Amino acid sequence: MVQLIDDDMLGQMAKVIADSFSEYPLIRAVIGEVHNLDEVMYQTSLLNLTEFIKHGDAHLLDGTPQGIVLGYHSKSVRPITRTVQTIRLFLLLRRLLSKEDFRTMWDNLKLYDKVMDLKWPYRHIKGDFYYVKVVAIDPAIRGSGAFRKLMSPVLDECDDRGLPIVLESHDERVAAIYSHYGFETVEVIEQDGLKVRQHCMIRRPPQDSAV
């Protein structure tokens, strides 16, 4: 983690993540149209961020919450950690959503389960890798070169360590952007009847030419 993050900074980061992902295709497909979407996005972002920082890395744009990369080393997060986080997220959503909205979300989760595969990197990489889970840019500075400035230190650090970087995207436009930074789509996971697809992408370090 690049710096100490206090509660105020944590809240600002959660707001940027919530704003960045409020229209993310998979999230909208699963959550649907809820009346308190902004609150749901903020509270779930805050929970995920709080849990994530305990086990992963937070890279900020010039030390500010205007740009955020959350990632972790493949050996640093155990399955039990993911399970506990999932349970906490489930309980939070149960509190934030109405009974009807929660049932709808639960049905959608089962429907979109196939395109939410978290095990795909192990089908393509033997050994260690760095998993980028969140890249969020404040909408106010998009198009200013902030994305490149935010991502470059992460890419350089992983190149220096000889680590492949993996990420997935359910947004066709965003997947195309990542391809300009050396990420290759190695698998596209889709299901008949669903518009949302999971692009599984890997950026290998320069000295690694393995497929």
Q: Digits of tens for pLDDT over the chain (211 positions)?
A: 445 578 898 999 999 999 999 999 999 999 988 989 999 999 999 998 888 888 778 899 998 999 999 999 988 766 546 677 888 999 999 999 999 999 999 999 999 999 999 999 999 999 999 999 999 999 889 888 999 999 999 999 999 999 999 999 999 999 999 999 999 999 999 999 999 999 999 999 987 544 4
Q: Which of 144, 208, 197 is nearest to 172 (CA)?
A: 197
Give the domain ranges of the chain: 7-203
* Torsion sign over Cα 139, 141, 144, 148: negative
CATH class of residue range 7-203: alpha beta
